[in-house]
Amino acid sequence: MVSKISHRVIVGPTGQPLAYEPDEDFQPVEKGGRCLDPVAAKAAAEAVANQGKK
């Protein structure tokens, strides 16, 4: 039942989970989702940004 969905967790391109909480119109309350582990997400994003750098 859709009315029982409180949030959805999606794994992003860095492998870090993002939580999306929908409003009453099923639009995300926070655009882009919320990192469940902001420290790990920052480290993963830096690792991706540094790929290919010498």
Each residue of 1-54: pLDDT tens digit?
344 555 667 776 667 788 888 888 888 888 888 888 889 888 888 888 898 886
Chain centre distance of CA 44: 12
Give how far Cα 38 sits from Cα of 7, 18, 24, 52, Å.
18, 10, 26, 24
Q: Which helix (H) or strand (E) holds 17?
A: strand 17-20
pLDDT of residue 2: 45
pLDDT of residue 1: 36
pLDDT of residue 22: 85
Q: Hey, what are 34's tokens? A: 């919320």
pLDDT of residue 14: 66
According to DSSP, residue 24 is labeled: T
The pTM of this model reads 0.51
According to DSSP, residue 42 is labeled: H
